[in-house]
Structures are given as C-alpha cells and as structure tokens.
Structure 1
Amino acid sequence: MFIQTEDTPNPQSMKFLPGRDVIGRGELGVDFPTIEAAKPSPLAAALFDVDGVTGVYLGGDFVTVTKDPSVDWVHIKPAILGTIADYLAAGIPVLDEGAAGGADTAGSADDYEGETREIVEQIIELIETRVRPAVAADGGDIVFHRFVEGDGIVFLTMKGACAGCPSSTMTLKSGIENLLKHYVPEVTAVEAVA
C-alpha cells in the first residue's frame, strides 16, 4: 500500500494519505490528543506506541500524526507509515464499534431559535463549505462549537494539525473571522475553544 505524506503548516504534524477512506468522507474527524483518549481506536493506540507520537487525528481520508518537538520525522515516519499500512491492509477497524459517538460533536443550529438559528445556520454552512475543506487540506479540522448571540462571538474547535499550530491564531483571526464577518454581519469575533 502506498501512503502519500504531506507536510502541514504545523511543523510537529504530518498528514498521511493512504489513498482510501480512513473513517469516511463527510464524517466528523476524531481527535486523539493523548494515549488515554486513543483507547477507542486500535489504529490511534498503535500509533501512540511509536516513540515520539503525541497526537493522532483520523480524518475522512487521512491520518494526521503530531510528534514531540525533540523527535525528528526521519526517525519515526517509517514506523508510522508501517502502522497505518498494516491496519488498513488487514482491514482492522480504525475505530471500535460505537467509538465515533465518543468524538467531539459539533454545535448545532438546533440549539438556537428564531433569527439566531438562521445566523448559526449561515455560520455552519460557511464553515462546512469554505473553511473545513481548506483546513482538511492541511491535515486538520475546524468545527463550530457555539455562537454567543449578544456578543456576536463564534467559538470554534481546532483539531488535528490545526490544534497547537503556530499559524492557527492567524488563520482563525485573519482568515476565518474576516470571512464570517463579511458574510454574517452579526459576527464580531471568532475564538478557539480548547
């Protein structure tokens, strides 16, 4: 199995593209920021067994691995490639049955009423169609968390390569905030939720 790799804007994260679905396109990705969180995923748990791995994100058709800054990619990349290839080639499920339900869930327009619901629907639509595909290209994900009506603040959760990326604050403020403010005048600011 050939697995393509791509650098991400986060120098501690690398995107691995196996050329097939990992959890399925269109699915909300699953973030495993610690070895304890990786228990529902045999693949993520196996990746944490590679010395130096500090985070795993399973996307629709990619895996993003984050490493400790003291470890060089040249030393751990072969083990990561082998682990991903072994799991996918053997047909071993990457998530235990029902594990996707344990993933962080996105906020929903159903949590709001009236005009605020319409605003949130616009925000979610923009994130889904314009922001998430671009962020996924960099090995991460961004998910709507909530909207504070009176203040106009949108809270988003950053995952994968985007979590902890040195340029994530600039992306959030300069890119996403400006996009949302342009199309949804009720938005005054965008903030990240850990």
Structure 2
Amino acid sequence: MGGLYPTRHGNGWPDGWLPLLTMSNNALMNFSDEALERIIEIRDQEPGEDEYGLLIEITGVQGLQFGYSLSFVPLDEAEPSDHVERHGDLAVVIPAADTGNMTGARLAMSSNPMTPGLAIDNPNNPSPDIPDFDAGDLTGPIAERVQQVLEHQVNPAIAAHGGQASLVGEENGVVYLQMGGGCQGCGMAAMTLRQGIERILREAIPEIVEIVDITDHQSGENPYYAASHAHSH
C-alpha cells in the first residue's frame, strides 16, 4: 500500500487527565531510514510543545491487504492500552487491537511513482470473509460452470506443476477457490492463479464478479499459490 501521509489526530482526553503510557522495548515494526527522516520532518511541523507520536491504525481491508491510517497524536492523548515503541527520535503508537496484525510490518518510502509517499509492507494478511456454504452453493449455474472449467481446462493445465484448484462455493457471483499441490517456490505460482486461472474462468463465465483464493498460504510444506483477491473491472 502506498501514498500514505500522516495527519494531525487527537483523542480529546479531558483536561488534567493524562493516561499512563508504557514504552515497549519490543518493537513490532521497522522503518527505513528515509521514511523515518521524512516522518520526523513532518512531525516537527506540529504546533506547540507537546511530543507527538505517529499513530498507525488499521482502518479496514482492501482486497487481501489491510488499509491504514497514519496520523500524529500528542503522546498524552494516546490510549493507556496502546502499544508505544520508539524508533530513534520518533515514538510510534499502535492500538492494542492492531498489534498482532502489525508485527513484522515495515514502513518505507513508496517505490511506485504512481503512489508517492509512505508505504507499509506487511507480512500479515486479513482472512477473506468467507460465507458459510452448504451443498446448495455448489449447484447454481455459475458454480456448475466453474466446476466444469476447473475440471476440463484449469486442472489439466496446472497438473504438470503439481497444483490443483477446487471450488469451495459461489455466492452472488463471487467464486471461492481452494488451491492445493506442490511446486514450492515456483516462480510462476502467483502468475498462474492471477493470469491463468482467473483469465480462463472470466472468459468462460462473464457473470463472475470476483474470484477469492481462500487457501492458507502460511501453512503447509508446499504452498502453491500466492493469495489473490481480484476484482472485475
């Protein structure tokens, strides 16, 4: 995710009431030197004598990535439960609810000229919102055609790479696929799903609104596919 810029933020604690903040010695995130320098430069433009921290919040989900908000907050307005860590001269505030999903994330300057600013590279991905399926979810016209395309076109094409795709369910044009097989580290894995399976399914079944890969790519000895959450345009 790119194009992030921190803004002013306040929580509005009552006058005279200051929360007790604990500075953690265990950093959840890491920062590039360039990003850290840029953030401190922006922070130093804040008015007054208060010490401002960079508040990083997860605001939602965009595809299979988290959305973020970066803002400056006076440290005396942070929540007592917030995780606070220091990177050089910068205090970083992460809400308690987001700490698990921010562990290992890196904040750096975006390398994409179309999205200048700060970018967060996060190894944690949200789980797809998967509806509860029953047997009826595999009997609709779209589901039946997806089954046929997978059986006769997709799986024969990817079998040589040790992979296979199966339909978990379909709801309102959203197709949920489960990927399996080997070819660990295969360079064409992500491309196969994104450009191969998706293209075949969309060409054969124009009614498809969205394709969601629900495979848990963090587990198993031979994760085959990279996660995909592609939207039609």
Whether these two folds match at TM > 0.5 is no
TM-score band by shorter chain is 0.3 to 0.5
- Report the TM-score, using the length of structure 2 for normalisation: 0.31
Higher strand share goes to which structure? Answer: 2
Indicate the structure (1 or 2) with the bigger Cα radius of gyration. Answer: 2
Larger RCO of the pair (alpha carbons < 8 Å, separation 6+): 1
